[in-house]
Amino acid sequence: MTAIDTGQHQRSADEGLAGDVKIDVRNLSIGYAGKSALRNVSLEIREHEIFGIIGPANSGKTSFLRALNRMDEFTESMTVDGAIRFNGRDVREWRNAYALRRRIGVVFPLPVGLPMSIYDNVALAPRLSGIRKKQQLDDIVERCLSRAALWDEVRDRLGSLGSLLSGGQQQRLTIARALSQDPELLLLDEFSIAVDPVTTMRIEDVLKELRREITIVLVTNLVQQARRLASRTAFFLMGECVEVNDTEAMFTGTVKDPRTREYVEGRFG
């Protein structure tokens, strides 16, 4: 069985995990200082699936992620129109945006290690939520580092600075930190940009396991990564969602738009 066949078998075995709609996006448009970045996007993301988003640079992929948990509020020039429902509730109706973001974790392209120990990087969010007992924090730190496939490498140096870890380890630490909030949805924006291929594959294995517990949205410029991981994939191009399709269908020629075929075949991008 080839590597691609193995990935297909894994997705088929897990297909039954996908369930209710987790994110429902309707007529989403995003702009920056009056300039359009994304136009009239409508799609659904199902519970317990890895949903891939592919497309060339400046297609609106990162802007889409930013809108899902209201990160647009950090950018004064960014405007968001349309509806985004998380578990059936419009994200704009949440009075406490921080409570929303605890349920929707984010991993950015470059690892952002906080200037503190490995332990404290993971324990920060639980402490901010009111957890103080050391044993409880210890359990959370071990669980999250294990889920991020990092525990065995750092268990004997939890007091060391997280910023001293390798790039791949820092990215997995970032994932562990996101998981420490016990999110229902995890957004990953080009997580493999700063890590080597071996570490990328390790993180991909982590994501395959995590989808049993949470929903994952994966933005990637690596189309084969989307093929390995995502059960369904959206193709964004120049601010438009060209199509949403079963991932394998996109790569075997059953596409709704010829531009999708041209992109996945590497004719542009």
Within 10 angstroms of residue 142's Cβ, the number of other Cβ atoms is 15
Classify residue 100: in a domain, yes or no.
yes
CB contact burial 178-215 (16+ within 10 A = b; e otherwise): bbbbbbbbbbbbbbbbebeeebbebbbebbbebbeebb
> Mean pLDDT over residues 35-47, rounded?
96
CATH code at 103?
3.40.50.300
Classify residue 221: in a domain, yes or no.
yes
Q: Provide the β-strand partners of residue 233.
A: 52, 245
Classify residue 67: in a domain, yes or no.
yes
Classify residue 243: in a domain, yes or no.
yes
Q: Does an H or E element contain 228, and which?
A: helix 223-229
Q: Per residue in 90-143, pLDDT tens?
A: 999 999 998 999 999 999 887 776 789 999 999 999 999 899 999 999 999 999
Does pLDDT of 39 surpass 80? Answer: yes
- Residue scoring higher pLDDT (193 or 13): 193
Classify residue 29: in a domain, yes or no.
yes
Please report the pLDDT score of residue 159 as a whole number: 97
Does pLDDT of 193 surpass 90? Answer: no
- How many folded domains does the chain comprise? 1
Please report the pLDDT score of residue 21 as a whole number: 94
> Mean pLDDT over residues 25-42, rounded?
96
* Cβ-proximal residues to 238 (8 Å cutoff; 6+ apart), any chain: 58, 59
Classify residue 146: in a domain, yes or no.
no
> Mean pLDDT over residues 193-222, rounded?
90
| Greatest mean pLDDT among 9-18, 150-159, 253-262 | 150-159
| Greatest mean pLDDT among 36-45, 186-195, 205-214 | 36-45
Confidence class for position 9, pLDDT limits 50, 70, 90:
very low
Residue type, 202: R
Does pLDDT of 89 surpass 60? Answer: yes
Predicted TM-score (pTM) of the model is: 0.87
Within 10 angstroms of residue 241's Cβ, the number of other Cβ atoms is 23
Range of the domain at 216: 3-114+185-264
Does pLDDT of 18 surpass 60? Answer: no
- Residue scoring higher pLDDT (196 or 71): 71
Residue 42 phi, psi (nearest 5) = -130, 125
> Mean pLDDT over residues 33-53, rounded?
96
Q: What is the C-alpha separation between 49 and 231, in angstroms, rounded?
A: 7
Classify residue 269: in a domain, yes or no.
no
For the chain, what percent of residues have pLDDT higher than 70? 92
Classify residue 171: in a domain, yes or no.
no
* Three-class DSSP category at 138: helix
For the chain, what percent of residues have pLDDT higher than 90? 72
